[in-house]
Amino acid sequence: TPQPTLYGSLTRRGLSAEGVPDIAASEGFVVGEVTKKSILVSCPHENASTKFLAPFATFSRIHQKSVTCLDISSGGGLGVSASTDGTMKIWQAANGEIRRLLEGHVYDVNCCRFFPSGLVVLSGGMDAQLKIWSAEDASCVVTFKGHKGGILDTAIVDRGRNVLSCSRDGTARLWDCGQSACLAVVADCGSPVNGIAVGAADNSVNLGAPEKTPSEREIGTEGKILLLAREDKKLQGVGLQSRQPVFLFVGSDAFNCCTFLSSTYFLAGTQDGNIYQLDVRNTNAPIQVIQRSGAPVLSLLPYRDGFVASQGDGTCFIIQQDLDYVIDLTEADCDPVYKVASWEKQIYTCCRDGIVRRYQLSDL
C-alpha cells in the first residue's frame, strides 16, 4: 500500500554575499548544499534526497509550439528538433541559433536523431516516411517507403550503414541506407510499436539463427538484440539478424520507450509511470521497478552509470549508482517532457511548452 504523501515547503530567507540564496525547509525536511543553480533537499525520515537543478540555458525561439523530439550531435555542436508547429530544425547547441530547416515530411515529424558522424540526420514522420538529411545543406538524400502507418521511433545500427524504424503499423523494419531499400521486416507485432532500441547482447543469450543467409547489405546486425516497446503492454526482444523472438515481457500498461544500459541490462517505461529494469539473460521478473510519478514515461536515456527519465507531468530525473540523491531537472512545471538528449555533462530536454532546456551537470 502506498504511504501517505509528505508535504513540505522551502522558504528563501535572503541572499549570501556570493548571490546564493539562503533557504530553509519546513519540518521533516532538510536543506543541504545550495548553489545558484541547485538545491539539495532531503527527508531523513524516509531516507530520500533530491537535488533540484535549474536549467543553465533555455531556448524558446527554436520552435513556436510543442517540441516533441530532439537530439544532440556526437561532437556536441549541433541540435536537431521537431515540433507540432510542423517544422524540423538544426540549431547550434550552444545558443539555440537556427542553422537549417529540414523540409519534406508531409505531416508532423515524430522522431529525429543524428547519425554517429553528426553530419547526417534520420527522421520519421506521421506520413509513414523515413528520411535521411544532410545537416550541412539540409538536403534530403534518402526517403524510405514501406511502413503503412506513422513512424514512431528509429535506431541506428553501428555507424549507420543500416537503420531501423518502428511504426503504428505494428512493424519494425531494417533498412539499407546505401540502396535506400528495406532489408527486412524484423518484427510484426499486430500492435503499434512505440519505441525501439538496439544493442549488443550478452554472449550467453541465445539470439537464434537466421532462416536464410543474411544479405551482404546487412552490416552490423550480428550479435545484436532489438527491443520493441509495444502498445499492447508487451516488451519484446528479437534477434536482429535472426529475426527470432528472444523474450516477451508483459508490463502494467503500454510501453512507450526502452533503452539499453549495457549488454546485460535494459530499461523500459510504461504509460502508467513504471520504469522496469530487466536482465536480458532472464526476463521472467524485473530486477527492479522504479516509479517516481504515475505519469507516462516518455523518454529514457543511459547517463554515466545510471539513466535519465522524463514523464508526462514534467517530471525529469537522473538516477546514478554512485549518487545517494536523485537529480530533478526542474522548470517544465506540469508540461510533458517528451525527450532527453545528452552530450558529456550537459542534458537537453524538450517540452510541450515549446522550450528546449539545457542543464549543466559538471558542478555535481
> What 3-state class would DSSP assign to 45?
helix
In the predicted structure, residue 328 carries a pLDDT above the cut 80: yes
Cell numbers of 17, please? 554575499
- Write down the pLDDT at residue 17: 84
Q: What is the pLDDT of residues 15-41, one digit of tens each?
A: 988 888 999 999 999 999 999 999 999
- Write down the pLDDT at residue 251: 98
In the predicted structure, residue 277 carries a pLDDT above the cut 90: yes
pLDDT level of residue 1 (50, 70, 90 thresholds): low
Q: What is the pLDDT of residues 136-166, one digit of tens each?
A: 999 999 999 999 999 999 999 999 999 999 9
Nearest to 107 by CA among 84, 89, 91: 84
The residue-averaged pLDDT of 185-203 equals 96
Q: What is the pTM of this model?
A: 0.95
pLDDT level of residue 4 (50, 70, 90 thresholds): confident
As a whole number, the mean pLDDT across the chain is 95
In the predicted structure, residue 2 carries a pLDDT above the cut 80: no
Secondary structure (DSSP) of 277-344:
EEETTB-SS-SEEE-S-SSPEEEEEEETTEEEEEETTS-EEEEETT-SSEEEE---TTS-EEEEEEET
